[in-house]
Chain A
């Protein structure tokens, strides 16, 4: 369905290494995926699988060194990794913006909320101080902060977690970016506030026609928001699928494990099954298992899994999985 339009963001063969005192840590190992204009792509995986690092590398917010990024990140046909400092600076906040996980620490405590939101407008839209401030107030109104005029003159400590995240969203959307990278935008919030923020993001996405890369480990959020999902495990893409197909027919044992570990009220009565867990721990990036990276935790491990990495098997348009079970 989206095959006709060209992708907005195209990541291919992205490797991210960190040079540390303990040696080289391979945080992301040859991932590729695309984001199409206006869609919401879910990027799912456990902590430490490389989701956030991937997002940071798109905006080149990683310090290099110690980080080393290779591969290509095409944004509207231009390789972001080849841009100079000024080039990427013009993209940041203007074309691609980011919402961070921790609303309590992502706003500067000594700057007024309005100033922080106005900053992007002044940087990218040539607004003067007053115009940018008016625009910031307008953005706060858009994210449904009551009394935006006076709220904009307050400092972040006056804002609750949910309000701060709204302010962050206002900041991220203030230049009407084509792509928003949302790194666990609701993880630090109460469940009721999570729902509000999600609804707000959904609404604003339609209004601003931005594409969203939604990074989360919360499959509930994915089911609500995303149209397509990329599942990552230990720095690699293990499965990609449209959201409905993923929930209906997960192909990778890891995805099945993730879905099985969502608590469903009344499941035990219905199916007699306990809540599943994926046994074991995420492997350390400094010490990856041979063969398939998931094999030590997989319930269907075969001999082949221990020796060779499984290739990516394409099952359909936007449907691929990296598992020996699928190669026949």
Chain B
């Protein structure tokens, strides 16, 4: 008899744990904007992965005979001032942008989550110190902070990632701390303490999983911002350096030809715009789908 009960309960259990994912996926799928964002993102990821297949040749090799040509069959998006295919450079540029987006978020999470957890859970002096440091960093506009950090660290992909990543750390600290402040007062956290669970385990096993939803949403949003920041730094000439195909840098060097060859600036601009849009739409959709209060 126990077996029967066991089996039916097992079936019921399997159904629910699956169905939580399925329900979230269904909610996300119904959100057309989010799906649009998701599909755009997949296109970017594929073009980054398949860049050598999609574009044969070196995207950085100049071909001065064909400079500033308009869109044609050979170069669907035209060529830049050094005669390089803009399509090819955008495709290869998606590698740079995605690497930067992932790297930045990684830096933000690695620093922001532990600091936010500790700050929110322990409170007191530790919290005070971390929060005043956060306040100080938040007092600067994010981009300005990244700019200042680049000025200190120097140019290049690695330093771009570190600079933008650090400028995003305070956002993660605030987000995580806020969630922890609410969750640490939950009875189940007290119950975990009452069975003798160590602080580290309470933070990692009991609190962190409950913060994952807002972190996931924030991660998607910050990837968009990271691409925008990186493009901004590239535009100013202090981000990723030429001849590496980077969207912001492409935009920056196209500035001089904007009147007689507008396509040179337009297409990288659209690439940046759509990439940021895809992350934001997906982030919005994730927030709605993962929020338990938002039921369809």
Contact = CB atoms under 8 A, between A and B. Distances in A.
A17 interface: no
B253 interface: no
A110 B197 contact: no
Interface string A85-123: 000011111100110101001111111000010011001
B6 interface: yes
Interface string A58-97: 0101000000000000000000000000000111111001
Contacts of A150: 6-7, 9-10, 13
Interface stretch (A151-159, A190-198, A303-311): A151-159
A106 B196 contact: no
A155 B206 contact: no
A253 to B, nearest CB: 35
A107 B191 contact: yes
Given A89-B198, A100-B187, A108 B192 contact: yes
Report whether over half of chain B's contact residues are helix, strand or loop; otherwise say mixed. Answer: helix
B63 interface: no
A263 interface: no
A292 interface: no
Contacts of A119: 192, 195, 197, 201
Contact of A110 (B16, B192, B193, B209): B209
B210 A149 contact: no
Nearest to B210: A110
B221 to A, nearest CB: 22
Contacts of B12: 158
A120 B16 CA distance: 26
B194 interface: yes
A187 to B, nearest CB: 13
Contacts of A157: 16
Q: Which of B192, B196, B197 has the most CB of A within 10 A?
A: B196
Contact of B196 (A94, A108, A109, A147): A94
B13 A93 contact: no
B195 A107 contact: no
Contact of B194 (A97, A149, A154): A97
A11 interface: no
User: Number of contact residues on B: which range applies?
Assistant: 20 to 34
B128 interface: no
Contact of A120 (B9, B187, B195): B195
Given A110-B209, A150-B9, A92 B196 contact: yes
Nearest to B191: A106
B190 A61 contact: yes
Contact of A149 (B6, B189, B209): B6
Nearest to B190: A61
A127 to B, nearest CB: 13
A123 B209 contact: no
A90 B193 CA distance: 11
B291 interface: no
Given A105-B186, A171-B195, A151 B9 contact: yes
A66 to B, nearest CB: 11
Interface in B1-45: 2, 5-10, 12-13, 16-17
A111 B205 contact: yes
A262 to B, nearest CB: 29
Nearest to A55: B194
Contacts of A94: 196
Contacts of A319: none
Nearest to B193: A61
Contacts of B13: 150-151, 153-154, 158
Nearest to B189: A108
B191 A100 contact: yes
Interface in B177-193: 186-193
Contacts of B186: 105
A211 interface: no
B209 A111 contact: yes
Interface string A117-153: 0011001100000000000000000000011011101
B187 A106 contact: yes
Given A92-B193, A94-B196, A123-B197, A102 B187 contact: yes
Contact of B195 (A97, A102, A110): A97
A93 B195 contact: yes
Given A106-B187, A158-B12, 19 more contacts: A59-B193, A89-B196, A93-B194, A97-B195, A100-B194, A105-B186, A106-B191, A107-B188, A108-B206, A120-B195, A123-B197, A124-B196, A146-B9, A149-B10, A150-B6, A150-B9, A158-B13, A171-B191, A171-B195
16 contacts: A59-B194, A61-B190, A61-B193, A89-B196, A89-B198, A93-B197, A98-B191, A106-B191, A108-B189, A109-B210, A110-B209, A111-B206, A123-B196, A150-B7, A151-B9, A158-B13
